[in-house]
Every structure is written in C-alpha cells, then in structure tokens.
Amino acid sequence: MDRYLHEDVTKKIIQAYYKVYNTLGYGFLEKVYHNALLIELRKMGLECKSQYPIKVFYENQSVGEYFADIIVNDCVIIENKATEALAEEHEFQLINYLKATELEIGLLLNFGKKPEIRRKIFTNDRKNKNTDAADNII
C-alpha cells in the first residue's frame, strides 16, 4: 500500500529531524537546519543529495528548474522550512516536486516554533500507476 511506501526511510528521516530540532531549537536560518539534518541523515547511513536539481517539462520541453533541498536514498524528497508555521503553499511546493520526478514520497519539515511534519504521497501515470495524489499529516 502506498501509505507505507518507503516507511523505513521516512522513519529514519523523522528521527533525524527531531534530533536536530531538539538540539538546535527554534530561530536559526533554514540553511543551518539543512546542514545539521544532512549530518544526521548521513550518520544513519542514508545517501543524501543536497540541492538536487529537478527539471519541469511541458510538452516534452524544459520550462523550468527547481532545487529539492534533500533527496534521500533516491526515494524520498525532503523540503525544509524554518517558518513560524507551515502554509498550504509549502505543501504544494513539495507536491510539485513529486509531480516533476519519479519519486512518490516527500516530507515537509518545519523547524518553526513547534515542530511540524507533513508526509506527501503523489503517484501519477509517469510513475506507472493509476492513482491520484494523497497526503497524510503526521
């Protein structure tokens, strides 16, 4: 079932997130949390690609490029935020990253006043499936 897709990896990511959040607390710039999270994820033996380019295509032509904060084990996209609270546009940003790739699972991690995590699942015909987008709030 898609709900549990890459659950082993996402559990490790969430564990690393809470370690960073509990150690650093609130108030640093997003880049500080990003770098600390990379350290924790790599200590756990996970393969991480930082600022990974994602090309967006329209009618088989490249129309833009995004940079995903972190790709873990070539199966999960992480989008980091350091805002007071997550907003709907942050969730859509992550869903668009999933739409533009073959990856199906994304985690939105906010290092705000309160820790916030959103797990997003997006499958489409590019991914050889016939299901629609779904999301879960953790």
Token pair in block for residue 124:
């489409």
In this prediction, residues 113-136 reach a mean pLDDT of 69
Q: pLDDT per residue over 118-127, tens digit each?
A: 999 998 665 5
Please provide the DSSP assignment of 43-85 as one string.
HTT--EEEEEEEEEEETTEEEEEEEEEEEETTTEEEEEE-SSS
Would you say residue 1 has pLDDT above 60? no
Distance between CA atoms of residues 118 and 63, nearest Å: 27
CATH 3.40.1350 fits domain 2-137: yes
Distance between CA atoms of residues 116 and 108, nearest Å: 8
pTM: predicted TM-score of the whole model, two decimal places: 0.86
Q: What mean pLDDT value characterizes the chain? A: 90
What does the DSSP 8-state code read for residue 123? Answer: -
Parse the chain into domains and list their residue ranges.
Answer: 2-137
The pairing of beta strand 76-81 with beta strand 105-111: parallel
